[in-house]
Amino acid sequence: MIDALNLRALLTPTNLRLLGAPIFIIMVLSMMVLPLPAFALDLFFTFNIALAVMVLLVAMYTKKPLDFSVFPTVLLVTTLLRLALNVASTRIVLLDGHTGADAAGKVIEAFGHFLVGGNTAIGLVVFGILVLINFVVITKGAGRIAEVSARFTLDAMPGKQMAIDADLNAGLIDEAEARRRRKEISQESDFYGAMDGASKFVRGDAIAGILILLINIIGGLVVGTVQHEMAMGQAVETYTLLTIGDGLVAQIPALIISVAAGLVVSRVGDEGDVGGLVIAQVFSNPQVIWLTGGIIGVLGLIPGMPNLVFILIAGALFALAWKRQQMDRRQTAAQSEAREAEPAQASAESLDASWNDVTPVDVLGLEVGYRLIPMVDKNQDGELLKRIRGLRKKFAQDVGFLAAPVHIRDNLELKPNAYRITLKGVEIGSGEAWPGQFLAINPGRVTGPLAGRETRDPAFNLPAVWIDPGQREQAHALGYTVVDASTVVATHLNHLILNHAAELLGRQETQALLDHIAKETPKLVDDLVPGQLSLSVVQRVLQYLLEEGVNIRDMRTIIEHLAESAPRTQDPLELTSRVRQGLGRAIVQSMFPGNSEIQVMVLEPNLERILGQAVASSGEGGAIEPGLADSLVRQTAELAQRQEDMGLPPVLLVPPQLRWLLSRFLRRAVPSLRVVANSEVPESRTIRVTAVIGG
């Protein structure tokens, strides 16, 4: 009973799937050693042909090479299966070939007699042609494509990785999608490398087929004439036909597998099955079909040519062209009717002025020149629209609130390829984009120049070049970060939105954020607003946090510290300082990930005392003496640049009473500088001073 239960547990579908491959390999290897009856050979040869046809069809219907990533392994297994069948059939041919043409099974007999008419000379020629086609044409070409693809794919990996990082930073993709793309790039390189090596199996199989053919013929003649005392002519006919049948039944599946390999590695561009792509790209233009039919028809009228065949083919092409033309006309007419059927806009407008004439200013606006309209046209499936939707989602996840939608409109006053980004009607950024081209950005470590239209990346002001699509792989190989026109605009927009996050947080967004938090903690929010603080005070505190690059995702902690500090003060600056202390762990973590030590700049004690006196005399908005201010800005900029050159974030650690003054004063001169109060650093973190300002 126990054995039966164990056997039933072993024979589950999952276990059978795991055991299938090892059992199959063991069976193939056993065929090289153990003798097989003729009927078993028929089964295995038929299975080999069916497997080859199945692999070919899978290759044809595969939409991209990585969908058939197991193909190199399949190539090895099918080659091993053919060689094992060659060994098994050779054994039977030499042992029992003298008994008749069906000694090695009906399949070999059929291929040796019916396919070549029982003629040894024809059989040898056909076999030789099949081997040449497989070895010289298909296998060599597929191997060369796989070799070149593997090299260029490997060279382009750094650029592709940087492009993924750029999309991730721009909010166009999330972390899961970035991880999937990185894995796909690695798999693509591994696939073409494996295909380059696997093509050698097929080449070796073709050589082995020729050698096995010669060995079988010579060995058969020796066995037939010496051991079985057959006449030379009879031995030649019997063993040669059996050998040719054996060779053909192995080479035809090998040829099919080679064609499948060529189809997989030679795919370029669109994702779709081979048949659909061929029909869509070769037979889509009726003018081409008309001209082809005309040329074939003219050739068919030449005396001495097979007129009937040429005229029939020309007629078929004319019929196909006419049908395709009719289909195109019907499609065009249907599109025209659909456009005419759309409801017309109301044209009657009141002559008197009304409140409808007062158009509110868009919070966020994107204006484009006429050549950029296809990028933002919903009817043309504009890629930029999808990226902007993803950008807003990424902004909400990273910063902590939902920004206003981006209103897009065309502006004929702009240059054809220009765009500009506005915040509450005021331009905050502009640039140019060239649809159909790619922007190759120089991150500072490229290995060579590129030919193209030189410019600068509008988001980060890095040197860049607009290039044609054909230069994309070259740019990747040289170390450039290559992005399309939509990504350029989206990245610029994302950069500006992050820099102006505080201005995007209005009262409406603040109220919507509090309403969202109230769904989980209604009592906490109701006690704070309007019970202890007004909405405007909460909004100002959140804006102060955003101005200094602190996200507001942890609204629970922010609201708790506001509620705790509200009975003692209503000053937004003081409340912001209290909230920053509560968010100190997250603030420090964003600048120094992990539990590593904090490497910061500090003020020289005398300078710290002078600034403290300035604050004490006139509050946190106190003024600094001009000469001291100039020296402070200059030293801070130099030391901050030194920090960045060392790969460290420029962070200035100061007493709490100086933090707001120095942050506001130094922010414009050194935008990347972060000013942190001593009280905001968790006790668990170790502080190391890397530079002293004013020393």
Lowest mean per-residue pLDDT among 201-215, 285-299, 630-644: 201-215
* 16/29 Cα distance (integer angstroms): 20
pLDDT in tens, 679-693: 999 888 889 999 998
Higher pLDDT, 351 or 490: 490
The answer to whether the CB of 307 falls within 8 A of the CB of 300 is yes
- The yes-or-no verdict on residue 405 having pLDDT over 80 is yes
- The yes-or-no verdict on residue 348 having pLDDT over 50 is no
At 315, which helix (H) or strand (E)? helix 307-341
Confidence category of residue 431, pLDDT binned at 50, 70, 90? very high
What is the structure's pLDDT at 105? 67
Mean pLDDT of 284-301: 81
* 337/341 Cα distance (integer angstroms): 6
The percentage of residues in the chain with a pLDDT greater than 90, rounded to a whole number, is 18
Angle between helices 232-265 and 175-222 (to 10 degrees): 170
Higher pLDDT, 689 or 95: 689
What is the structure's pLDDT at 577? 92
* 163/473 Cα distance (integer angstroms): 12
Higher pLDDT, 636 or 353: 636
Which residues have a Cβ under 8 Å from the Cβ of 583 and sit 6 or more positions away?
Answer: 545, 550, 554, 557, 558, 680
Residue ranges in 430-500 assigned as alpha helix (H): 472-478, 485-499
Any idea what DSSP says for residue 646? T
- The yes-or-no verdict on residue 320 having pLDDT over 70 is yes
What is the structure's pLDDT at 1? 42
Residue ranges in 266-306 assigned as alpha helix (H): 274-282, 286-300
What is the structure's pLDDT at 171? 63
Higher pLDDT, 462 or 252: 462
Q: What are the φ/ψ torsions at residue 593 (nearest 5 degrees)? A: -60, 160
What is the structure's pLDDT at 677? 92
Mean pLDDT of 542-567: 91
In the chain, count of helices (H) and strands (E)?
26, 12
What is the structure's pLDDT at 112? 66
Side chain identity at residue 292, one-letter code = T
What is the structure's pLDDT at 344? 47
- The yes-or-no verdict on residue 541 having pLDDT over 70 is yes
Kindly report the pTM of this predicted structure: 0.54
pLDDT in tens, 170-229: 666 777 787 888 888 777 777 777 776 766 776 777 777 777 777 777 777 777 777 776
Confidence category of residue 350, pLDDT binned at 50, 70, 90? very low
CA atoms within 13 A on the CB side of 300: 15
Which of 376-390, 470-484, 608-622 has the highest average model confidence (pLDDT)?
470-484
Mean pLDDT of 671-675: 89
- The yes-or-no verdict on residue 150 having pLDDT over 80 is no
Mean pLDDT of 154-182: 73
Higher pLDDT, 33 or 532: 532
pLDDT in tens, 45-86: 888 888 888 888 888 777 777 777 787 888 788 888 888 887
- The yes-or-no verdict on residue 671 having pLDDT over 80 is yes
What is the structure's pLDDT at 388? 86
The two three-digit tokens of residue 422, written as one number: 């506005």
- The yes-or-no verdict on residue 514 having pLDDT over 80 is yes
* 477/687 Cα distance (integer angstroms): 41
Higher pLDDT, 73 or 498: 498
pLDDT in tens, 644-659: 888 888 999 999 888 8
The two three-digit tokens of residue 457, written as one number: 């990346």
Lowest mean per-residue pLDDT among 6-15, 156-165, 623-632: 6-15
Mean pLDDT of 362-369: 90
Confidence category of residue 346, pLDDT binned at 50, 70, 90? very low
At 659, which helix (H) or strand (E)? helix 656-667
What is the structure's pLDDT at 183? 81
Neighbours of 432 (CB within 10 A): 20
Average pLDDT of the residues of the chain: 80
Give the burial string for 119-149 (b: 16+ CB within 10 Å, else e): ebeebbebbeebbebbbeebbebbbebbbeb
Mean pLDDT of 119-135: 73
- The yes-or-no verdict on residue 552 having pLDDT over 80 is yes
Nearest residue to 492 via CA among 577, 422, 407: 422
- The yes-or-no verdict on residue 345 having pLDDT over 50 is no
Confidence category of residue 294, pLDDT binned at 50, 70, 90? confident
